[in-house]
Amino acid sequence: MERLIKIGAEANIYLSLWHGLEVIRKVRRPKPYWREELDLKIRRIRTIRETYYINLVKKFGVLTPIIYFSDPFKGEIVMEYINGERIKDIVENDIKRCYDLFYELGRKLATMHTHNIIHGDPTTSNFIVKEDKLYAIDFGLTFYSQRIEDKAVDIHLLKQVIKSAHPKYFEEIFGKVIVGYSSVYTLASKILENVKEIEKRGRYATF
Amino acid sequence: MNENRLLCLGIESTAHTFSVAVLTENKILSNEKEVYVPPPGEGIHPYEAAQHHLRKAKKVLQDALVKSRVNIKDINVIAFSAGPGLGPCLRVGAVVARTLANYYNKPLTAVNHAIGHIELANFFAKTNDPVVVLVSGGHTLVSTYLLKKWRIFGETLDITLGQLFDQLGRELGFNSPAGKYIEELASKGKKYLQMPYSVKGNNVSFSGLLTYAKNLIKKGYSKEDVCYSVQETAFAMLTEVTERLLAFSEKKEVLLTGGVAANLRLQEMIKSLCEVHNSKFHVIPREFSGDCGAQIALVGLLQYKTKNLVEIKDSVVRQSWRIDEVDVTWRD
């Protein structure tokens, strides 16, 4: 018995049973718009990366699901089911509760960046809250880099998403992210400067 | 004839197209245009384009009115493309619009050209709440609507898809817009050449791809294979970003619009993605994908109905004007 609970941008997410445990089975789909050789390669690489980084960041205190099984050739990962709420949904329902969560999100992102790990897709749907603890998920685009630019792109992506998906609360919650981020990472101000540079590259930007 | 219908005359002149359209809320009565074509191998020269628009303005305006069978006295509002675009070109459209508004004593409204691409696509597709993919010479972005604004989730951080094709076309000796020539060459390409693939977060970047492709052409690789590979790579990047927004926003429709939306391969790729996500795919009809007066007139009419007008003395043009700065007064 297995149930499809979400069609993600690149994977199907199933709620499944694995040796009697309730688990998530994440299966990367072939992309119909990628050429086949490219598609196989990318799916394999992203499955390996995700497995590796989900395990690695635990060592730095970033909570992630436990990986039970990973098969790069099938593009498939079996992992712990975090039965919580996505931050994305909490923002719309209970903004007060969010302030601490976004502060914590900033801290988690900074922790990863301190160790030169770039999440690659830090949107509000990739952080889950369970029993007041914040879990990070979806590490398929994660990579290692010491470059300021790569870290700034991570922050810029989160900023863009908050601004576009939660415009009413943008100032407050992105402010919290920055405070949390700066409390952990000594290079924070340098990276935020670079975020502004990236924004200027947008078409018709005048600021 | 229905006496109560509202009529808008819209003038487009952001880049190489000078176009005038007359329309009502549910019918496009005329949509006449003249396109400035630079010499082969060259890009658009803003001053030359503006001179072209000045020469053609009277004829295009007359044709549009004659074809629509509307007397200019019955027009309710004059709309013009106030930006974003090339300054000299924008000013021609603005001068024509101000003159008409002043002489015939009509209200004037300033339209954002990109919003025009979106609303015109929606005029045909009648979408509810789509993910918009806007691809043209001036824009490459993915957006959704929320609280009076089109919100930009991802965009190009350097050149647009249209510019990528135009500049590659220039290298091959075509004149701009070169999209249709590239598409034709690409359809004959057989071999996929590895190309730089650059997606940063939800944003894309095409300048590395352009340089790489130009170098391959200089080295003597087959034009067909290069065009094919550029198309495959650039569209895959855009489609990936679209897919990420579709998954994140959990919307059920995709609306593809702008000049590059006419490309059949791009349509095919975005469509394949919609099938995976059980979403509906919509694309602007080919003849309205490029710049035209209808996109300006349509938004002009929507703005008129919501009293979003501008005084002649304030009717300045804006070369830089992002869609997320525009107050969408006619949507909830």
CB-CB contact of B221 with B185 (8 Å): no
Residue type present at position B191: K
CB contact under 8 A, B156 and A153: no
CA distances in angstroms from A77 to A19, A23, A68, A139, B235, listed in the order given: 15, 10, 8, 12, 28
B91 and B185 fall within a common domain: no
* H or E element in which residue B151 lies: strand B149-155
Of B87, B92, B114, nearest to B322 by C-alpha is B114
B156 and B255 fall within a common domain: yes
B64 and B148 fall within a common domain: no
Question: B58: alpha, beta or left, given left = phi > 0 and alpha = psi -120 to 50?
Answer: alpha
User: What pLDDT was estimated at residue B3?
Assistant: 55
Instruction: Tell me the shortest Cα–Cα distance from A19 to chain B, in angstroms.
Output: 30
CB-nearest to A33 from B236, B246, B320 is B236
Q: Which residues contact B58 (CB under 8 A, 6 or more apart)?
A: none
Could you count the other beta carbons within 10 Å of the beta carbon of residue B317?
Answer: 24
pLDDT in tens, A64-78: 999 999 999 999 999
Nearest residue in B to A202, CA atom: B157
How far apart are alpha carbons B4 and B12 in whole angstroms? 26
Residue B21 in any domain: the answer is yes
DSSP state of A47: H
B226 and B168 fall within a common domain: yes
How far apart are alpha carbons A71 and A76 in whole angstroms? 5
B231 and B141 fall within a common domain: yes
Residue B331 in any domain: the answer is no
Residues of chain B positioned with their CB less than 8 A from the CB of A120:
201
Does a cis peptide bond (omega within 30 degrees of 0) precede residue B88? no
Q: What is the largest CA-CA distance in chain B?
A: 64
B110 and B210 fall within a common domain: no
Tokens of B240: 């990936």
Domain of B206: which CATH number? 3.30.420.40
Residues of chain A positioned with their CB less than 8 A from the CB of B157:
198, 201-202
Nearest residue in B to A126, CA atom: B248
Rounded mean pLDDT, A179-187: 96
B293 and B278 fall within a common domain: no
Residue type present at position B323: I
CA distances in angstroms from B148 to A39, A123, B36, B84, B151, listed in the order given: 38, 22, 35, 19, 9
Helical pair B46-68 and B87-103, crossing angle rounded to 10 deg: 40
Q: Has this prediction a pTM greater than 0.95?
A: no
Given a cut of 90, whether residue A57 has pLDDT beyond it is yes
CB contact under 8 A, B152 and A154: no
Comparing A89-98, A145-154, B31-40, B226-235, the range with the smallest average pLDDT is A89-98
CB contact under 8 A, A9 and B320: no
Given a cut of 80, whether residue A37 has pLDDT beyond it is no
Enumerate the β-bridge partners of residue B46.
Answer: none
B97 and B62 fall within a common domain: yes
Say if residue A20 is exposed, middle or buried (CB neighbours under 10 Å; 0-12, 13-18, 19+): exposed
Does a cis peptide bond (omega within 30 degrees of 0) precede residue B38? no
B92 and B171 fall within a common domain: no
CB contact under 8 A, A198 and B157: yes
* Structural domains of chain A ordered from first start: 3-80 (3.30.200.20), 85-200 (1.10.510.10)
Contact status of A125 with chain B (Cβ, < 8 Å): yes
A132 tagged catalytic: no
Of the candidates A121, A132, A138, A150, the residue annotated as catalytic is A121
Residue B57 in any domain: the answer is yes
CB-nearest to A205 from B236, B276, B322 is B322
Question: Predicted confidence band at A184 (pLDDT cuts at 50, 70, 90)?
Answer: very high
Q: Where are the beta strands (DSSP E) in chain A?
A: 3-7, 11-18, 21-28, 67-71, 76-80, 85-86, 117-118, 127-130, 133-136, 143-144
The ipTM (two decimal places) reads 0.89
CB-nearest to A201 from B158, B160, B235 is B158
**How many domains are there within chain B?**
2
Q: Which residues of B10-31 are buried (b: 16+ CB within 10 A; e: fewer)?
A: bbbbbbbbbbbbbbbeeebbbb
User: What pLDDT was estimated at residue A207?
Assistant: 59
What averages of pLDDT result for each successive group of 10 residues across chain B (332 residues)?
80 96 95 93 90 97 96 96 96 97 97 97 96 96 96 94 95 89 95 90 93 96 96 94 94 97 96 95 96 97 96 95 95 92
Q: Which residues contact A205 (CB under 8 A, 6 or more apart)?
A: A199, B320, B322
Comparing A90-94, A141-145, A171-175, A195-199, the range with the smallest average pLDDT is A90-94
Note down the domain range covering B20. 8-117+289-325
Backbone CA torsion sign across B230, B161, A150, A47? negative
Could you count the other beta carbons within 10 Å of the beta carbon of residue A52?
Answer: 15
